[in-house]
Amino acid sequence: MKLLKGLYLSYRFFICIILIAFVFVLGFIYPILFITGQVILVVFIAIVLIEVFFLFYKKDAIEASRNVPNPMSLGDENNVKISILSNYSFPVKILLYDTAPVQLQLRDLNFKFNLTPFQSHQVDYSVRPTERGIYEFKQMLVFASTLTDLCQRRIRLNHIEDIPTYPSILQMKKYELKVFAKTAQSGIKKIRRLGHNNEFEQIKNYVQGDDIRSINWKATSRRNELMVNQYQDERAQHVYSIIDKSRSMRMPFNQLSLLDYAINSTLAFSNVSLLKGDKAGLMTFSDKLGSKLVADRSNRQLQKIIEVLYNQKTRFLEANYEMLYNGIRNHIKGRSLVMLYTNIESEYALKRILPIFKKINQLHVLVVVFFENTEVAKQAESEPKFVRDIYLKTFAEKYAMDKKKIALELRKNGIQAILTKPESLTIDTINKYLELKARGVI
CATH of residue 39: 2.60.40.10
In this prediction, residue 195 carries a pLDDT of 45
Does 262 share its domain with 219? Answer: no
Which structural domain range is residue 212 located in? 204-230
Please tell me the pTM assigned to this model. Answer: 0.79
The whole-angstrom separation of Cα 323 and Cα 327 is 6
- Helix H or strand E segment including 144: strand 140-145
Give how far Cα 369 sits from Cα of 16, 36, 195, 226, Å: 68, 82, 28, 48
Count of structural domains within the chain: 3
The whole-angstrom separation of Cα 100 and Cα 327 is 42
Give 96's strand partners: 111, 142
In this prediction, residue 180 carries a pLDDT of 72
Does 100 share its domain with 86? Answer: yes
Is residue 199 in some structural domain? no
What is the identity of the amino acid at 195?
Answer: G
In this prediction, residue 181 carries a pLDDT of 67
- Helix H or strand E segment including 72: strand 72-73
The whole-angstrom separation of Cα 338 and Cα 362 is 12
Does 221 share its domain with 253? Answer: no
Burial group, residue 264, by CB count within 10 angstroms (0-12, 13-18, 19+): buried
Does 90 share its domain with 16? Answer: yes
Does 39 share its domain with 177? Answer: no
| Residue ranges, the chain, pLDDT below 50 | 1-3, 182-185, 193-197
In this prediction, residue 1 carries a pLDDT of 46
